[in-house]
A and B are shown apart, each in its own frame.
Chain A
Amino acid sequence: MERERKMSREVIVCKDISKTFDTARGPVHVIDKVSLSVRENELLVLFGPGQCGKSTMINCMSGLEPVSSGSVEVSGRLVTKPGPDRGVVYQRMALFPWLTVMGNVEYGPKVRGVPKKERRERAQHYINLVGLDGFENSYPNQLSGGMQQRVGIARAYCNEPDVLFMDEPFGHLDAQTRYLMQEDLMKIWEKEKRTIVFVTNNIEEAVYLADRIIVMRNCPTSIKTEYEIKLPRPRDYVDPEFLRYREEISAVVDKAL
């Protein structure tokens, strides 16, 4: 009951957001009147083919890019610029290569003035959570792709934002590592629930992770349809119900060129 009530609180509210880029070849309309809301501790997957502007969605929702029209609210506050109440995990990791794992994870609390002892403890907690204990003093270029993205996840978690945006975080990983990361992300999320908006173009990943999947249309991005995934966790990639969802969603997705 408690969880049901909390789940119903809407943490992210997007109202009619549109985004147009002015380019040398004229304006390009990337997002077309998208309205959506994300409930507290929900894992929402934005799923769509190819380059359909999903990353731009994340940039607009996180405040990195201004919207052309419409509005985004996180925890009731209007999003206009980047801010630490929103965390982002990037496809290209975007780790600070001159900082160690510890340095990267504690970066957020550090720039926000959290005392050293406290932020070290907090960073250590999240480093342990993502399974990187023992690698605190390694530099990112000494780690594998999967481990680097664990640092990315720990860094975002450590800032304790209201919401986490994950922009195809496993897109650059090989298939085996990708499965492992999906499983581990679920374990992390089960241990420490957060509101997550996860972007992917991989349907299996979408069904494995999501509470709810929003299927996006291609260029300009708009909402096509959405699915609640009511499967128990941990999910099984070859469970008949899993495959049924997979098939059903595949059928409605635009084919990417």
Chain B
Amino acid sequence: MINRFHKGAKSYEKTICAAIAIFAFLCIWQLVVSFTKAGMVLAGPVETFAAFFKAIVSPIGTHTIEGHILWSLSRVLVGFVLGSLAGIVLGILMGWFRPISALFRPIFELLRPIPPIAWIPLSIVWFGLGESSKYFLIFYSAFCAVTMNAYSGVRSVDAELMGAAKMLGASNRQVFTSIVLPSCIPQIFAGLQIAVGTSWATVVAAEMVRSSEGVGWVIIKGQDSNSTVQILVGIVAIGIIGYILAVTMRAVEARLCRWSVRGK
């Protein structure tokens, strides 16, 4: 209980510090825009947030800002869910069966350093300009991150725990389902965290290259019409949603992995 109280007090202090830091940042931004020449190429925070709230009711292009956000989120959702599921399955298989890892691991080691956005041109050639190429890119970015994490999660399962389970009478199949799978959940979540971040970054990039809606499109249209306000509205939206995604993932993890050190 003492511990929990202490933690509570800390997070309260943290919130105040964060609020002060953000407020100071906004003030400096406003001062720079109001009193220097930067104001000619950069919209101020007041103007940006006014435009952001206005965009909630009056559309930019064909959609309001929530509409654009939902478009981007739907792309992320499809790619992320499919990519993560495939990644979890392949990663676990690689971890449990040596021949599969011998076969796939070298490929992943080669693919890993290539950022997903490097595949944008090829994905357009392969899948066209529609949704499929975006789904593919996000699938790919989630898939790589989750596969490698699920793999190393299975590889790092405590051998003593598996021994203890066998000693208590568990069959190999039971060791897999009751020891290996729960053991690697925290590491799979670490992969999902990374995947959600890269998926969100990838969708914005893909929309900037080619789309007719979504937050990436808002930014690129802002550039076309020389409106720094619109660009910043897009950036603010990306920041807020990215933050919400990360926080949500952490909350889900903390709930599912109450037992683990990471989940604390």
Specify which chain B residues have a CB less than 8 angstroms from the CB of A92 in the assembled complex. Answer: 160
Q: Are A108 and B161 in contact, CB atoms less than 8 angstroms apart?
A: no
With contact pairs A94-B161, A98-B182, A111-B174 given, residues A83 and B167 touching in the complex (Cβ less than 8 Å):
yes
A173 to chain B, nearest CB (A): 18
11 more contacts with CB within 8 A, not counting A96-B165, A140-B259, are A88-B167, A94-B158, A94-B161, A94-B163, A98-B260, A111-B165, A111-B169, A112-B169, A141-B259, A155-B168, A159-B168
Q: Report how far A96 CA is from B167 CA in the complex, Å.
A: 13
Specify which chain A residues have a CB less than 8 angstroms from the CB of B178 in the assembled complex. Answer: 96, 107, 111
Q: Report how far A82 CA is from B166 CA in the complex, Å.
A: 6
Interface residues of B in 145-175 (CB under 8 A from A): 158, 160-161, 163-171, 174
Interface residues of B in 176-196 (CB under 8 A from A): 178-179, 182-183, 185
With contact pairs A98-B182, A140-B259, A141-B259 given, residues A107 and B160 touching in the complex (Cβ less than 8 Å):
no
Specify which chain B residues have a CB less than 8 angstroms from the CB of A81 in the assembled complex. Answer: 166
Specify which chain A residues have a CB less than 8 angstroms from the CB of B259 in the assembled complex. Answer: 97-99, 139-141
Residue on A nearest B161 in the bound complex, by CB: A94
Q: Report how far A111 CA is from B169 CA in the complex, Å.
A: 7
B112 sits at the interface (CB 8 A): no
B258 sits at the interface (CB 8 A): yes
B110 sits at the interface (CB 8 A): no
Interface residues of B in 225-264 (CB under 8 A from A): 257-261
Interface residues of A in 34-84 (CB under 8 A from B): 62-64, 81-84
Q: Are A111 and B164 in contact, CB atoms less than 8 angstroms apart?
A: no
Specify which chain A residues have a CB less than 8 angstroms from the CB of B260 in the assembled complex. Answer: 97-98, 141
Specify which chain A residues have a CB less than 8 angstroms from the CB of B158 in the assembled complex. Answer: 94
B127 to chain A, nearest CB (A): 40
A-B CB pair tally, cutoff 8 Å? 65
Specify which chain A residues have a CB less than 8 angstroms from the CB of B168 in the assembled complex. Answer: 84, 87, 107-108, 111, 155, 159
The total of chain B residues at the interface (CB under 8 A) is 23
Q: Report how far A111 CA is from B165 CA in the complex, Å.
A: 9
Q: Report how far A111 CA is from B261 CA in the complex, Å.
A: 26
Q: Report how far A97 CA is from B161 CA in the complex, Å.
A: 10
B167 is contacted by which of A62, A97, A98 (Cβ under 8 Å)? Answer: A62
Q: Report how far A97 CA is from B257 CA in the complex, Å.
A: 10
Residue on A nearest B185 in the bound complex, by CB: A98
What is the 8 Å Cβ interface bit string for chain A, positions 90-113, against chain B (1 contact, 0 not)? 101010111100000001100110
A9 to chain B, nearest CB (A): 23
Q: Report how far A61 CA is from B260 CA in the complex, Å.
A: 32
Q: Report how far A62 CA is from B166 CA in the complex, Å.
A: 11
Q: Report how far A107 CA is from B161 CA in the complex, Å.
A: 12
Q: Are A159 and B261 in contact, CB atoms less than 8 angstroms apart?
A: no
Q: Are B165 and A64 in contact, CB atoms less than 8 angstroms apart?
A: no
Interface residues of A in 120-143 (CB under 8 A from B): 139-141
B190 to chain A, nearest CB (A): 16
Q: Are A94 and B169 in contact, CB atoms less than 8 angstroms apart?
A: no
Closest 8 CB pairs of A and B: A84-B169, A108-B168, A82-B166, A111-B170, A94-B164, A98-B182, A82-B167, A112-B169
Q: Report how far A112 CA is from B178 CA in the complex, Å.
A: 13
Specify which chain B residues have a CB less than 8 angstroms from the CB of A63 in the assembled complex. Answer: 167
Residue on A nearest B175 in the bound complex, by CB: A111
Q: Are B164 and A88 in contact, CB atoms less than 8 angstroms apart?
A: yes
Q: Report how far A177 CA is from B166 CA in the complex, Å.
A: 29
Q: Report how far A88 CA is from B182 CA in the complex, Å.
A: 22
With contact pairs A82-B163, A90-B164, A141-B259 given, residues A111 and B171 touching in the complex (Cβ less than 8 Å):
yes
